[in-house]
Every structure is written in structure tokens, then in C-alpha cells.
A and B are shown apart, each in its own frame.
Chain A
Amino acid sequence: MLSFIGRSVVQKIITLFFVSIVSFLIIHIAPGKPSQVDPMNPKFTPEVVERFRKEFHLDKPLHVQYLYFYKDLFTGETVSWKDNQSVLKKIWERFLNSLPLFIVGTIITWTLSFPIGIRSAIFRGQFYDRSATFLSYLLISIPGFFFAYVLIIFVVNQFHVPVIGMETFGIGDGASLPHIFMDRIWHLLLPSVLGATGGIAVLSRYVRSQMLEVEGQDYIRTARAKGLSPEQVHYRHALRNALLPFVTMFGLILPGLIGGSVIIESIFSWPGMGRMAYEAILARDYPVILTVNFVSAILVLAGTFISDLLYLIVDPRIRL
């Protein structure tokens, strides 16, 4: 067990190293230079551009730039080219903003997908299954941004609550604590539900097909031949086996913290990680892009590591 963890960590560090090289190269190979973001700005004279290039080591060869960047990253000195603020601090703030959205969205997705998928499998081909299937495909086919606007219009017209941003602008002045709390909840609700809908539609289909596959196995017939009730067969014998693949998926949702919510965060002006990364790309703010990239690589690797560990715990067939 310990040797597995040790080996796995070493492997992941090596992977991370290659990811850092590849992402650095891709950023620099991509067309467009940071100095060309705003060529019409009269302040950007050739001399100023040259001075910035020197200051940010953009005049050095690539491998030197690479070393400079990762030296700064590990000493925590990386600063954004846009506003000269510490990148790690920026990311941490945005991370804390994204976290509630991510957690609530994930909880909604996972708590709804499983009951829906399992019931669809049990009542395969019946009314419940057909309506669940229809709804899933409907939710998958509707573009997220369109659905978001429909929901915003509906909620704002019906309940007269503000939904854009993380809180109502200027609410901090003199409002009571419960009031601020409810305001936050209202702001959190819509983006989380929207983030979850697509997930529910897809995940419940996976759960259904996984459950159906397990229900066809020989050991399910054995369980029934023992005299177990259908509920015991479904929820004890079938479900335990059907859940195994989702343990893997559970680790892999971690990277969703960054990439999963760019559209939602943009629509709702939510100051989260995804939106920050998106804005950094538009501004060609290399330090921010690369750091976000690095953090998401770490999240992916941590996610797979957690899945491996969980798999080890839940599947008795996997032993080291």
C-alpha cells in the first residue's frame, strides 16, 4: 500500500514536469504576443514595449524563460502582467469564490443523478424510464447559455430577486446578517442548478446503463434464487457493483473546479476561477494562464490519485 502511494506520487510528479513543459511551449507557440494585446494604445511606444519585454524576461530564450517562470512560481513571486498582483493570491481568492458554486453544483448533480438513474434501470422501458430519458436528452440538447437566460428571466420575474454576481451590489452596508445570508443563497442557487442540469442529464444516463449491465449478471440471478426480495437484489447486490465505476469518476470531478464553470461564471458575472482564466487568456497574461494550467494539472493528478485509492478500498478484486 505504502509503496503504491510512493510510486504513484513519483509518477505524478514526473507527469507534472512534462505537463509544465508542454503547456509552456503551447502558450508560446500560440499566435499573438503579450506586447500586441493593445497595439493602438498610444502609451505603448516601442521603447515601453522593449522595457516590458526586458522586465518580464521575454527577450530571453525559451528555456531560460521557462526556468524563470517556474522559479517564480515555486517561490510564490509570480505576478500578473496585467495588474502586477501576486498570481497565487489572486487564484486563491477566486478559488474560494468558485468553491461554493462547485460544491453545491456537485451535491445537486450526484444526489439527483443516482436515484434517477437507478429507478430508470429498475423500471426499464416503463413510463418513468421513458420520461427520464426524454428529459435527459432535452437537457443535454438545450444550450447552457440559452437555458441560463430563460431561467434568469423566469426567476427574476417571478420572485423579484437579483441573481447576477455573488451578492447584491452594496448590500454590505447596514443589512442584517440573515438578510445577507439569504441574498447569497439566492445568488448561489441559480448558477449551481444550471451547472448541475447538464451533469444530471449525463450522469443519470451513465448510472442507468451501468445498473442495467449489472442487473444482467449471473450473480444477480443467484441472489434472486436465494429468495431475496427485489429491493434487496437491486439495492444490495446490484448497486454495490454498479457503483464501482463512479468511484473513479468522483476523483475526476476535481478539475471541474476550474474548467467546468467558465460559461456559467461569465453569464452570472461570478468572480470565479474559470472566468479569471478566460479573461487572462484574452489579455495574454501568461503567468496567470500558466499558473491556472499548472493548478488544474495538479487537480487532475490529485483526482486520479484519489480515484485509485478509493478503487482500492471499494473493489476487493484490486490488491497490490
Chain B
Amino acid sequence: MANNNTLISVQDLKVYFRTGHECARAVDGISFEVRKEETVCLVGESGCGKTVSALSILGLIPTPPGEIAGGRILFQGKNLLELDEEDMQKIRGNRIAMVFQEPLTSLNPVFTIEDQIGEAISIHKNVGAKELRDRCIKLLKDVGIPSPVQRLKDYPHQLSGGQRQRVMIAMALACDPDLIIADEPTTALDVTVQAQILRLLKSIQKIRSMSVLYITHDLGVVANIADRVYVMYSGIFTEQGNTAQIFHDARHPYTQGLLASLPSRSKRGKRLYSIPGTVPNPAYKPAGCPFHPRCPHAILTCAKEYPEMCDYGQGHLARCPVLLEGGDGYK
């Protein structure tokens, strides 16, 4: 699958957490790629392994209890999992930057905005004090913070939630990275601010021609920004394809369920659909297809055999042999 256009390619990544006698398979063999200047979305419910996948790209999984149990993460040809801590530090914040979910707690309360953005630059780039300051001001301007010169001396608690997330984005942009991983950057914000932040991310991506790996549980956001989508469930991908394929031609019962539970104008006044049951505990996953206990189409084989990806053409894959046209698909 890898070609010249691929920026990062994750192959069969497995991340396990061992606590006592339990082993939680948070990420259980996922493969995906992000191409240059592309926005890729990882979608899934809470606890399905989205954040863990993102953190393991940057090598930020706490070990122990965490453990990368297998796979490769190829970034510009290098396997990030084989780099030592020092080389990883040169990539973090420099080539791959991350924007976190909670802008309220993700900024250090005792340092000023200038300290925190300036630090992100000065770790990787050798610039003088004057230029450092100018760059901070420029970054704040780029992310749409009014009167950036005054804001430099502010502490995080003096900013609103939306502004803090803008500062986080400014920090991520500090070294002009090739890839930004955004881990639910709008979840903690209210809806109007959400829309602003999404617009900001989109425009920045265009101007700087970066790639974005966007992690969310919000399908509305996905429809808005994604080029391609990976639907994640219980540590594996259940379906992947471009945005149109996922939204108009969903082939996996889980994706279909998610789409059915989206509110829309035609469903006004009716009760919204919800998928029965909950995400399985990653330490005690059901045998066979992990979604089968909640699946309306499940057949007996689903509880026994682990389903393979079925190809629907043009990069559209779904891990459900039952719905594959012309038979149940299990061999």
C-alpha cells in the first residue's frame, strides 16, 4: 500500500496493557496510513483504542503497564518503534505534533503562553530571544488570537477554553510539523467554538500543506473535515474508506449503527437509534468478531471466527463477511 505519497504508515500495531494477571488489548493489530496533505479520521466510541493508537505513534505510552506488542510505525521511511528516546525527542513536536483533548488541563498552569510556545520552538530550533518572541507572536496571530502581544504574558487560566485550544494548536505548529495528531481537540469545547477550531485546523492544513490525523467520536466532525476514515471498534478497524464511501455506502453493521444514531432533519421528533450494549472490556473481548454481541446481523459463525477485511473496491474495506454480497463470506 505504501507509495511515495505516504507520510506515515502504521502496520499491524498492537498495544497491550498488563495489570496483574489481566492483559488489556487496547489496540489489537491496526494498519493505516496518512498521505501527504491529507486529513485522516479515526472514529470510534470511548475506550476503543483511538487515543492509545495516537500516543503510541509519539512513543508516549507509559511503559509499564503499557507495551507495544507488535507492528511497525513507518514515518518517512523510519520505524518509530525502533528509535531510541533521544531520536524520538527530535521527532516529537518537531516532525509530528499533537493537540490534546482537554485544553483546560493540557497547558502548564505556572508558565506563561510565551514560555510554553517559545519552549516548543527552542527545543528543536536554534533561534535568538528576539526572533523567538516574533515567532510566538506570529503563531498566535496565525491561530487567530486577538492582540497576541498582550496574550504572551498571560497564564493559561486567563484564557477561555477556545483560546487555550488555539494556543495548543499554535504550540503544535511551532516547528512546522509534517503531521499533526489531533486527539478530540473540540470535545471539551462548546459547539460554536468547535466549529471555529475545525475551520482553523482546516485552513492551517491547507496553508501549510500538512497532514492531519484527527481522532474523534463525532461523525459530524468527520463528515466536515475527513478525506479518509477509519472506523475503530474494540482495538481493531471495522471499516475504512473515503468519506463518501463511509457515509453513503457503509458496509459494516457497526458503521451503519453509528450513522443511524446520528440526529438529522428527517428524524426530527423521532426517537434516535442507539446500538444496544457497550464496548467490550479490552481485557475480556468476545471470541470471533468483537462486535457480534451487539450486532443485529450476527450469525453463529460470528462468535467463532475472527472476520477478515472484505474488499468493496477503491480502498473501501469492511470487516464483515456476513453482509458481503453473495453469501455469508466465511469460508
**Chain A residues near B (Cβ < 8 Å):** 217-219, 221-230, 237, 240-241, 244, 314-317
Q: In whole angstroms, what is the CA distance A228 to B124 when docked? A: 9
Indicate which residue in B60, B93, B108, B157 contacts A237 across the interface (CB closer than 8 Å): B108
B90, CB-defined interface residue at 8 Å:
yes
B97 and A219: CB pair below 8 A? no
A217 and B90: CB pair below 8 A? no
Q: In whole angstroms, what is the CA distance A315 to B120 when docked? A: 22
Q: Which B residues are in CB contact (< 8 Å) with A223?
A: 108
B123 and A227: CB pair below 8 A? yes
Q: Which B residues are in CB contact (< 8 Å) with A225?
A: 58, 60, 92-93, 97-98, 100
Q: Which A residues are in CB contact (< 8 Å) with B109?
A: 219, 241, 316-317
Q: In whole angstroms, what is the CA distance A224 to B106 when docked? A: 11
A218 and B94: CB pair below 8 A? no
Q: In whole angstroms, what is the CA distance A217 to B102 when docked? A: 11
B105 and A219: CB pair below 8 A? yes
**Chain B residues near A (Cβ < 8 Å):** 58, 60, 85-86, 89-94, 97-98, 100, 102, 105-112, 119-120, 123-124, 155, 157, 168, 171
Q: Which A residues are in CB contact (< 8 Å) with B98?
A: 222, 225
| Min distance, Cβ B277 to any Cβ of chain A, angstroms | 30
CB nearest to B102 among chain A residues: A218
Assuming the contacts A221-B60, A316-B157, asked whether A226 and B171 have C-beta atoms less than 8 A apart, the reply is: yes
| Min distance, Cβ B143 to any Cβ of chain A, angstroms | 16
Q: In whole angstroms, what is the CA distance A222 to B107 when docked? A: 7
A222 and B90: CB pair below 8 A? no
Q: In whole angstroms, what is the CA distance A222 to B93 when docked? A: 10
7 tightest CB-CB pairs across the interface, nearest first? Answer: A227-B93, A227-B92, A226-B93, A218-B105, A219-B108, A316-B155, A225-B98
| Min distance, Cβ A94 to any Cβ of chain B, angstroms | 41
A218 and B89: CB pair below 8 A? no
Q: In whole angstroms, what is the CA distance A90 to B209 when docked? A: 78
B119 and A221: CB pair below 8 A? no
CB nearest to B96 among chain A residues: A225
| Min distance, Cβ B228 to any Cβ of chain A, angstroms | 24
Q: Which B residues are in CB contact (< 8 Å) with A241?
A: 108-110
Q: In whole angstroms, what is the CA distance A229 to B89 when docked? A: 7
